[in-house]
Chain A
């Protein structure tokens, strides 16, 4: 198989380095321009792209009607739409603490959905 060189923009940190990735099929041979995390990212991006996903779920009894949530780890990119549909059906009640698990092992990915903030109970 022929070696392919391509540019991959690393999204691991805000620097956004342009990695030059040389691969043979699915095997990454060399990554230029990246730090250690960048090299891991390149491998991951070419085989199983994942993203941190942040969204919200409905909330009852708080200062606001929504609770912001995020994935405990980068989530498989092709399944993001599925995840969003699941989140649309969820409603939680106050009180909620920071990093409280809202959904465990969501869609059998081994990844949790957790709260991005605490939300106290508001007494009307």
Chain B
């Protein structure tokens, strides 16, 4: 394959967001579409997520991660997307010039008409949760362990303690158990689960793995290799509760303490980042503040379902293709969407009401405080309720979506800004 110097759309990253964006850009009329991927094969982190649970929305099937990815990889090749694998993007400029480097292809510069950022997210580390103790071998993020166990074929330990009840952590607890390791404990500093409830059931409960809420790691013990961790209960302000310390012997501590969108390239390019999501400010077509630079998937905000990442990629790819075909549109009136009562953040940050003519716009958000009772998800214009939707509960671990129907176009147009709220029914 020869890499051209000019592309209509260049997508950075070949995870589910990037694959969907590239396919969608191509299908919506972009001629030359390229995906740049730093790994030696396309698919992103899905390739190491060998557990089931993907595709329930998109394919109405319960698929393993690689299987979900394979469908999109095949489609991307089929529709004629170019791939530049084993290549790292070093820089993207405001005018869409991309500098990349590769052992296989050398040092490259590529000019794109539109760029879709789909770099995904990275895991929070022990430093970000400021874990005390020594720095021996045996402290890994759950994702690194997952790559070792599932892709590279090596076990990083025998006896594990997992800090954090995020999905990857719980899924790794089961996976490690499957491969003959012992998971001694899962500790969660919050008073509630941070991942999906079903993962608690089928990954921890099924194997009698103990979960301790409101607990954290007070000390990591061991010089060369982890020998034990000291667990401790915490109060509502995460202060250690004296007298609750417990030494748990183990050789490995896995961290599943959250994900952060990976936006170093975006920042360099001048993309503005929302401090709450740690992803770009986006409109309903996932365009960032820089014209022609779009972003899709976990790079925008961390989703709990890959299906929604795919959906975001499809929208971003379509928007990019339109820009390539139609050129920049004169400034349309956009409406800000703000996080209101009990909403931590909302995406998109702005929307163009005219786009409702093409179909519904999905507004996605995360609740601030869990409500274990029926709730209303509300869209308001000032004091006025425009639309609401019932949900049986609202949990921080599970994203909430409310679609804005085309019928609301006139009311949205008339609004100064929209506010979303999640309240008890």
Instruction: Let me know if chains A and B touch directly in the complex, using CB atoms closer than 8 Å.
Output: yes
Task: Please state if A33 and B392 are interface contacts (CB–CB under 8 Å).
Answer: yes
Task: Please state if A11 and B198 are interface contacts (CB–CB under 8 Å).
Answer: yes
Contact of A66 with B150 at beta-carbon distance under 8 Å, contacts A16-B196, A54-B52 already known:
yes
Contact with A along B191-235 (1 / 0, CB 8 A): 000001110111000100000000000000000000000000000
Q: Does A98 contact B (CB under 8 A)?
A: yes
Contact with B along A94-122 (1 / 0, CB 8 A): 00001100000000000000001110000
Shortest B114–chain A CB gap in Å is 30
Contact of A116 with B67 at beta-carbon distance under 8 Å, contacts A16-B196, A66-B150, A77-B206 already known:
yes
Q: Which residue of B lies closest to A120 (CB)?
A: B41
Shortest A54–chain B CB gap in Å is 5
Contact of A56 with B50 at beta-carbon distance under 8 Å, contacts A9-B197, A10-B198, A98-B67 already known:
yes
Task: Please state if B153 and A68 are interface contacts (CB–CB under 8 Å).
Answer: no
Q: Does B417 contact A (CB under 8 A)?
A: no
Q: Does A51 contact B (CB under 8 A)?
A: yes
Task: Please state if A64 and B152 are interface contacts (CB–CB under 8 Å).
Answer: yes
Pick the residue among B51, B71, B206 that contacts A54 (CB under 8 A). Answer: B51
Q: Name the A residues within 8 Å of B63 (CB-CB).
A: 116
In the complex, A33→B196 CA distance in Å? 17
Pick the residue among B53, B67, B151, B398 that contacts A66 (CB under 8 A). Answer: B151
Q: Does A43 contact B (CB under 8 A)?
A: no
Task: Please state if A117 and B201 are interface contacts (CB–CB under 8 Å).
Answer: no
Q: Which residue of B lies closest to A98 (CB)?
A: B70
Contact of A14 with B51 at beta-carbon distance under 8 Å, contacts A64-B151, A64-B152, A68-B66 already known:
no
Pick the residue among A51, A56, A117 that contacts B69 (CB under 8 A). Answer: A117
Shortest B56–chain A CB gap in Å is 5
Q: Which residue of A lies closest to B151 (CB)?
A: A64
Q: Name the A residues within 8 Å of B129 (CB-CB).
A: none
Q: Name the A residues within 8 Å of B53 (CB-CB).
A: 14
In the complex, A83→B151 CA distance in Å? 20
Task: Please state if A68 and B150 are interface contacts (CB–CB under 8 Å).
Answer: yes
In the complex, A118→B43 CA distance in Å? 12
Q: Does B59 contact A (CB under 8 A)?
A: no
Task: Please state if A51 and B202 are interface contacts (CB–CB under 8 Å).
Answer: yes
Q: Does A92 contact B (CB under 8 A)?
A: no
Contact with A along B160-203 (1 / 0, CB 8 A): 00000000000000010011000000000000000011101110
Task: Please state if A64 and B198 are interface contacts (CB–CB under 8 Å).
Answer: no
Q: Does B260 contact A (CB under 8 A)?
A: no
Q: Does A17 contact B (CB under 8 A)?
A: yes
Q: Name the B residues within 8 Å of A98 (CB-CB).
A: 67, 70-71, 74
Pick the residue among B52, B178, B305 that contacts A52 (CB under 8 A). Answer: B52
Q: Name the A residues within 8 Å of B370 (CB-CB).
A: none
In the complex, A42→B316 CA distance in Å? 39
Q: Does B62 contact A (CB under 8 A)?
A: yes
Task: Please state if B52 and A70 are interface contacts (CB–CB under 8 Å).
Answer: yes
Q: Which of B60-99 contact A (CB under 8 A)?
A: 62-67, 69-71, 74
Q: Name the A residues within 8 Å of B74 (CB-CB).
A: 98
In the complex, A118→B69 CA distance in Å? 10
Contact of A117 with B47 at beta-carbon distance under 8 Å, contacts A13-B56, A14-B56, A70-B52 already known:
yes
Shortest A41–chain B CB gap in Å is 11
Shortest A94–chain B CB gap in Å is 13
Q: Does B304 contact A (CB under 8 A)?
A: yes
Shortest B86–chain A CB gap in Å is 12
Q: Name the A residues within 8 Å of B62 (CB-CB).
A: 52
Q: Does A63 contact B (CB under 8 A)?
A: yes
In the complex, A56→B62 CA distance in Å? 17
Q: Does B40 contact A (CB under 8 A)?
A: yes
Most buried by B among A15, A33, A51, A58: A15
In the complex, A18→B372 CA distance in Å? 11
Q: Name the B residues within 8 Å of A77 (CB-CB).
A: 206
Shortest A57–chain B CB gap in Å is 11
Task: Please state if B178 and A14 are interface contacts (CB–CB under 8 Å).
Answer: no
Task: Please state if B152 and A9 are interface contacts (CB–CB under 8 Å).
Answer: no
Q: Name the A residues within 8 Å of B66 (CB-CB).
A: 68, 116-117
Q: Which of B92-136 contact A (CB under 8 A)?
A: none
Shortest A4–chain B CB gap in Å is 19
Contact with B along A41-70 (1 / 0, CB 8 A): 000000000011011101000011110101
Q: Which residue of B lies closest to A117 (CB)?
A: B66
In the complex, A64→B85 CA distance in Å? 16
Q: Does A84 contact B (CB under 8 A)?
A: yes
The list of the 5 closest CB pairs from A to B, nearest first, reads A16-B197, A117-B66, A68-B50, A16-B198, A11-B198
Instruction: Please name 27 pairs of A and B residues whose Cβ atoms are closer than 8 Å in the assembled complex, sorted by A.
Output: A9-B201, A13-B198, A14-B56, A14-B198, A16-B196, A18-B197, A51-B206, A54-B51, A56-B150, A63-B40, A64-B151, A64-B152, A64-B153, A65-B152, A66-B151, A68-B64, A68-B150, A70-B50, A70-B52, A70-B64, A70-B67, A99-B67, A116-B65, A116-B66, A117-B47, A117-B66, A117-B69
Q: Knowing that A98-B67, A116-B64 are A-B contacts, what are 15 other residue pairs whose CB atoms are under 8 Å apart, sorted by A's residue number?
A: A11-B201, A11-B202, A13-B56, A15-B198, A54-B51, A55-B50, A55-B178, A55-B179, A56-B153, A63-B40, A65-B153, A84-B178, A99-B67, A116-B70, A117-B43
